[in-house]
Structure 1
Amino acid sequence: MGVTMKKSRALKVLSAVLVAGFALAGCSSADADSGADSAASQGNWPRTVETPKGPVEITSKPERIVSTSVTLTGTLLSIDAPVVATASTGPNTDVSDAQGLFTQWGDIARERGLAVLPMGGANAESVLAQNPDLIVVSATGGDSVVDLYEQFTAIAPTIVVDYGGSSWQEVAAVLGEATGLEDNAAATVAKFDSAVEAAKAKITLPPQPTTALVYYEDGSGANIWTHESGQAKLLTAMGFTVADIPESAKSSESMGKRKDIIQVSAENLYDGIAGNTLILVSADDGAVKAVEALPLLAQHPAIRDHHVYAVGLDTFRLDYYSATNMVNRLVEQFG
């Protein structure tokens, strides 16, 4: 489907999807031919982007992008993608502002005039109202609305991006390709990587290896970040050695399709923390005190020797902005 598809036609197609409930796989060919000439004048268009849902053709450079994933919006903003609307999370939390935008980039979104999609997750009607020419959906995570993929494809080309198990830099490359902003993505990543190298030279590492996790405040266990997570990859880039997670500590429960997190129950937490240093993600100093006070961990070397550190409340979902914050906090802790 060409990105110049008329909104009235999209509405008719969408109505068929919503009311009749059947797939509209062949609706994209009519506008592709009409948009081919203008696409060629804007660069290497049309282009095909490989996604977890298969190849997606984008006929011309997007000018109105809707992000249905609050996690992916930060990376889109960091490469100066023309985002017109974004999904949100719950408002007025430790990580979000009054609009439900992440605090690390909420001000930037407002400066650029982004519309905020209704609370409770993006839906086809709210996305259609933004007249998008590209829709971005996350494959996994709490902000994923991938179940609505077929409805979104009736509106505009839709790409699914899997940020679970990918660094934000890898996500930036995918989004750069889809938006024709490869140079912007590369420049943003290069700027960040340069900052990481400079920060690495300023720190003295605590005892290695390191375990990074999100501690459950109810004391029922933790999510431990795997080597495939963006958090572990960032720690590795800073010189840390990320500990393997013992098989014996892993919960029988699953995190769905995510590859970046392993659930560990409270009774297995001691064994799950295989590192001599513990990094608490999505946490502040209050979480450090709570973890150090746990009787079941009292004799663990990381707790006993007070090598427990928090890297900020905004570090659960990494983008350029929150990853930069995490780097700065690591320098504060170990510089």
Structure 2
Amino acid sequence: MFNCFAFPRKLLIIGVVFILTACDASTSTTHSLAIDQVEKSNEGWPRSIMTSKGLLTLEQPPKRIVSTSVTLTGTLLAIDAPVVASGATTPNTSVASEQGFMRQWDPVAKSRNVTALYQTEASAEAIIQANPDLIIISEAGGDSAMRLYEQLKDIAPTLVIRYDDKSWMQLATIFGDLFGLEAQSQKIVADFEQKIQNTKQQITLPPQPTTAMVYYQDGTGANIWTEASAQGRLLTQLGFTLAELPESVKGNISMGVRNDIVIATGERFPDAVNGHSVLLFSAAPPREQALKENNYLQLVNAVKNNQVYAVGEDTFRLDYYSATNLLNRLQQLFGQQQ
């Protein structure tokens, strides 16, 4: 009978070392990937992406994508990703359709028969019923379904990704590389980059620097967009300079692990509105007057000089569709013919 304990000790050690070395070699490229970096095999598939939850590998292009993030869905639709269902927000509002989809891309979703999984509160049961071969979860934001991750990852491959630190164009590139939709993502990004350059050449900026923000309906404060936000990045590309926030404002706020906004409320709110002009996101023109009538902001330069501009109700979440609308709005406001 073969006696494993009689096996020469030196050879046993060599064998163990060989096994460990082989395992390490097989995973070395995996460990070298940065978060959100995509790796493709020489044959095209499989493809892998490093996430905060570890490596996710797709053996073939997904055919039934379920997006739990209404923010990410617009970008997925823009690159023709096979989205079959999406989470939704509160329906029948100024920004959302009767399904709870964003108005800027709701017609596209309807034309592609995308169904609404749920409205506001993520439902694992609804996601499972959609029979996905890939589930996408946003790691941050109000539409994050991270609490369901452990449950969903056993149903289908589940991609966890952030959007608060990326533009929609960066997201489109990542999705395109991972899903085999490189041509679609490259074209739409290139087209939009050209639109940015055209807009930049056709507008005259308001007084700089600018405070870009979402003004609360009750007038008590605002979310100030930072340079890390999609909104801030786009404005910077157009030539805007975002006003630097005082340390006293930055030190008083937090919103989980998000780095795209700074919350400014109470007595620190006027200190945060320190740009020579103000752009109001997620706002229609009537909000301009509401801000200018705020008693706490009467000494703010932008208010005193009547440099307050609403840039559209659909600009809280920037995807290809809402970002295009934003460029059109900026051209209307600051176009040289004005």
What is the match of residue 66 of structure 2?
A: 66
Please say which of residues 314-323 and 250-259 is displaced more in the overlay: 250-259
Contact 1:245–1:272 (CA under 8 A) maintained in structure 2: yes
Match of 1:231, SS state, is helix
Q: Is the 8 A contact 1:314 1:322 kept in 2?
A: yes
User: Which amino acid is 2:305 matched to?
Assistant: D
1:185 aligns with 2:174: no
Deviations 1:4-36 (A, max 9, x none): xxxxxxxxxxxxxxxxxxxxxxxxxxxxxxxxx
Deviation at 1:42, TM superposition (A): 12
> Given the alignment of the two structures, is residue 207 of structure 1 paired with residue 180 of structure 2, yes or no?
no
Amino acid at match of 1:270: P
1:306 corresponds in structure 2 to 306
Aligned position for 1:20: none
When residues 89 and 43 of structure 1 are mapped into structure 2, their CA distance, relative to the original with a 3 A threshold, is farther
- For 1:67-97, what per-residue CA distance to the aligned partner results, in whole angstroms no more than 9, with x for missing partners? 0110000000000000011110010011001
Shift of 1:43: 5.8
Once the two structures are superposed, the pairs formed by residues 266-285 of structure 1 within 5 Å of their partners are: 266-285=266-285
TM-score (norm. length: structure 1): 0.85
Please tell me whether the aligned partners of residues 277 and 302 of structure 1 are also in contact (alpha carbons under 8 angstroms). Answer: yes
**Structure 1: which 4+ aligned runs deviate by more than 6 Å?**
none
The letter of the residue matching 2:260 is D
CA distance change for structure 1 residues 149 and 241 in 2, over 3 Å: closer, same or farther? same
Return the offset for 1:251: 5.7
Q: What one-letter code is carried by the residue in structure 2 that aligns with 1:303?
A: V
Q: Secondary structure at the match of 1:87?
A: strand
Instruction: Tell me, in whole angstroms, the C-alpha distance in 1 between the residues paired with 2:134 and 2:91.
Output: 26
What SS class does the counterpart of residue 118 from structure 2 fall into?
coil
CA distance in 1, matches of 2:316, 2:251: 20
- State the partner residue of 2:289: 289
Shift of 1:183: 2.1
1:150 has 2:147 as partner? no
**CA radius of gyration, larger in:** 2
Correspondence for 1:245: 245
Equivalent residue for 2:84?
84
Q: Secondary structure at the match of 1:213?
A: strand
For structure 2, list consecutive stretches of 5 or more residues without a partner in the other structure.
1-39
Is the 1:173–1:182 contact (alpha carbons within 8 Å) kept by the matching residues of 2?
yes
Q: CA deviation at 1:51?
A: 1.5
TM-score (normalised: structure 2): 0.85
Matches within 5 A, 1:96-107: 96-107=96-107
**1:141-180 per-position Cα deviation (integer Å, ceiling 9, x unaligned):** 1100011111111111110110012111111122212211
CA–CA distance in structure 2, aligned partners of residues 250 and 241 of structure 1? 18
Q: Distance in 2 between matches of 1:91 and 1:216?
A: 20
How far did residue 63 of structure 1 move? 0.7
The runs of 5 or more residues in structure 1 that have no matched partner are: 1-39
Instruction: Return the offset for 1:274.
Output: 2.3
Secondary structure of 1:118 counterpart? strand
State how far apart, in whole Å, the 2-side matches of 1:163 and 1:315 are: 14
Indicate the residue corresponding to 2:22 in structure 1.
none
> Relative to structure 1, is the Cα distance of residues 94 and 251 closer, same or farther in structure 2, using a 3 angstrom cutoff?
farther
State which drifts further: 164-173 or 321-330: 164-173
Instruction: Provide the residue aligned with 2:112 in structure 1.
Output: 112
CA contact (8 A) 1:77 1:109 kept: yes
1:50 corresponds in structure 2 to 50
> Per-residue deviation at 1:191?
0.7
Which residue pairs with 2:171 in the alignment? 171
State the superposition RMSD in angstroms.
Answer: 1.6
Question: What's 2:328 paired with?
Answer: 328
The answer to which of 250-259 and 267-276 deviates more is 250-259
